[in-house]
Amino acid sequence: MTPLATLDTPRPVLVIGGLDPTTGAGITADCAAVVSLGAHPLAVLTASTAQNTHAVTNSWPVTATQLREQIMTLLAEWQPAAIKIGLIPNSETASCLVDIFASANTLPPLVVDPVCVSSSGSVLSTASKDDWMQLLQLSTVCTPNHREALHLSGADTISAAIARLSEVAQAVLLTGTDSSSGDCITHHLYRNTVSGSQSHEFVVQRQVGHYHGSGCALASAIATHLALGLELESAISTALADVERWMALAFLPSTSSQQKILRHQ
């Protein structure tokens, strides 16, 4: 099927991930981010969760059959201009995604946010290192924080982790939120190009407080800017400015809430 592309047709961005009923993270937050940046979200569910800003109390993965049918039905009509993958609950769903995207004729920019553990400490994925590595191999950029980079690579140090992840992924954006202290946070982009490997630093102001879903928002904003035609480094710096704006507008849902919810405006 040929997509109808006119000047006012919004670019479709496919987000694949879990449902966080707070819309702090997960696919409803991804959709809010994509819409606020002027693109059209397509959303595919990998798992439902029960959570609030204190804890994830339960989660229920979809089956590989359900996941495949959601994606194949969409792809029969739509051509996503970028794809963002977030929560992958287990090996079954990871293999299904690898199988679908490895056999695609063309793949748009693919952003993988390797969500393993929530900021409230709950394990969100039982997918193995091998599962993640196979997916990273297909990615344009992956966005691990320090803890995720160590977990995915099995390395003992962050430099060894980056070396291993860079062998697999075209680009690694190592986010610094969980490692930097002080007023600034430094995110590092490591990328393999035809002229060799390059690295680039992005320094942002640390915002006071605890936020739910900031990593998720960053990855969906990067995917949206890639869909809108920006090159990777500009997509990342523009997305960091978006997240800064959404964090500045964040709110606490109740007086006892542990984390602020971003407002995607």
- Return residues touching ligand PLP (CB under 6 A): 17-18, 20, 25-26, 49, 56, 86-87, 115, 118-120, 124, 212-213, 215-216
| Shortest Cβ 155–ligand PLP spacing (Å) | 21
Report the residue number, 25 or 44, with the smaller CB distance to ligand PLP.
25
Residues 227/39, Cβ–Cβ less than 8 Å: yes
**Angle at 230 (CA atoms; ends 224, 232), nearest 5 degrees:** 90
| Shortest Cβ 27–ligand PLP spacing (Å) | 7
Report the residue number, 87 or 98, with the smaller CB distance to ligand PLP.
87
| Shortest Cβ 256–ligand PLP spacing (Å) | 17
| Shortest Cβ 79–ligand PLP spacing (Å) | 25
Looking at beta carbons, which residue is closest to ligand PLP?
18
Report the residue number, 86 or 108, with the smaller CB distance to ligand PLP.
86
Report the residue number, 112 or 172, with the smaller CB distance to ligand PLP.
112
Report the residue number, 192 or 207, with the smaller CB distance to ligand PLP.
207
Question: 132: closest CA among 171, 187, 81, 169?
Answer: 169
Neighbours of 34 (CB within 10 A): 28
| Shortest Cβ 61–ligand PLP spacing (Å) | 11
| Shortest Cβ 101–ligand PLP spacing (Å) | 19
Residues 46/93, Cβ–Cβ less than 8 Å: yes
In whole angstroms, what is the distance from residue 114 CA to residue 119 CA?
13
Paired sense of beta strands 211-212 and 260-261, if any: parallel
Report the residue number, 25 or 189, with the smaller CB distance to ligand PLP.
25
Tell me the HSE value of 103 on the side-chain side, using a 13 A CA sphere. 8
